[in-house]
């Protein structure tokens, strides 16, 4: 199977960093859809997007604001979906690009179904496709329920169904790339990328 090397990061992307990523044959960079006080550079900007395009590197998106079981309510899924729609519209993201909702904990899959359903109901009619980042068990449940198009398997080997879930679009690993606060990722396809 042909795969594509990439990474996810919370760091700012400068021309020097993007040039180094291109020299390392990185094919995609995933950044976040929301700002965070703790990581002010985590959101992809227009300037970073232009640098990536010039280097032939694709962009990907993840949405993460909370990672407790209590966070993942139906109402929160709708609110977060609207934040993605607003951000994608502001950035000019092409239709059919994916956004990975992050379930960054080992959670019982049934706890996130309503959230994921409402997240999907907001972003899909706007032209974008929902994906999910999380454990193998969460990804399998969301795929089986038809709530996601793309699955990004977290590098959390002790989380539920890590070894059993093999139907991933992106597989996260450990390490750092180009000195960034990042995780290396391997993609089975780039259907979710912009």
CATH fold, domain 4-187, is TIM Barrel (3.20.20)
| Res 39 pLDDT > 90 | no
What confidence tens digit (pLDDT) does each residue in 97-148 have? 999 999 999 999 999 999 999 999 999 999 999 999 999 999 999 999 999 9
Instruction: Tell me the pLDDT band of 71, cut-offs 50, 70 and 90.
Output: very high
Separation between Cα atoms, residue 35 and residue 45, nearest integer Å: 11
144: helix, strand or coil: helix
Q: First-to-last CA distance in the chain?
A: 22
Residue 178: how many other CB atoms lie within 10 Å: 18
Residue 32: how many other CB atoms lie within 10 Å: 22
């Amino acid at each position: 199977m042909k795969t594509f090397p990439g990474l996810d990061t919370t760091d700012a992307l400068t021309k020097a960093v993007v040039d180094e990523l291109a020299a390392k044959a990185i094919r995609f960079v995933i950044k976040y859809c929301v700002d965070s006080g703790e990581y002010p550079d985590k959101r992809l900007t227009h300037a970073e997007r232009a640098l990536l395009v010039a280097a032939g590197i694709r962009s990907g998106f993840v949405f993460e604001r909370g990672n407790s079981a209590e966070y993942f309510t139906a109402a929160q899924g709708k609110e977060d979906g609207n934040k993605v729609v607003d951000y994608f519209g502001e950035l000019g993201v092409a239709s059919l690009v994916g956004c990975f909702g992050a379930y960054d904990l080992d959670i019982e899959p049934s706890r996130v179904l309503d959230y994921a359903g409402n997240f999907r109901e907001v972003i899909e009619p706007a032209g974008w496709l929902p994906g999910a980042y999380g454990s193998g068990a969460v990804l399998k449940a969301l795929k089986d329920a038809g709530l996601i198009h793309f699955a990004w398997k977290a590098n959390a080997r002790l989380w539920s169904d890590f070894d059993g879930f093999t139907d991933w679009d992106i597989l996260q690993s450990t390490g750092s790339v180009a000195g960034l606060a990042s995780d290396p990722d391997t993609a089975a396809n780039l259907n979710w990328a912009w």
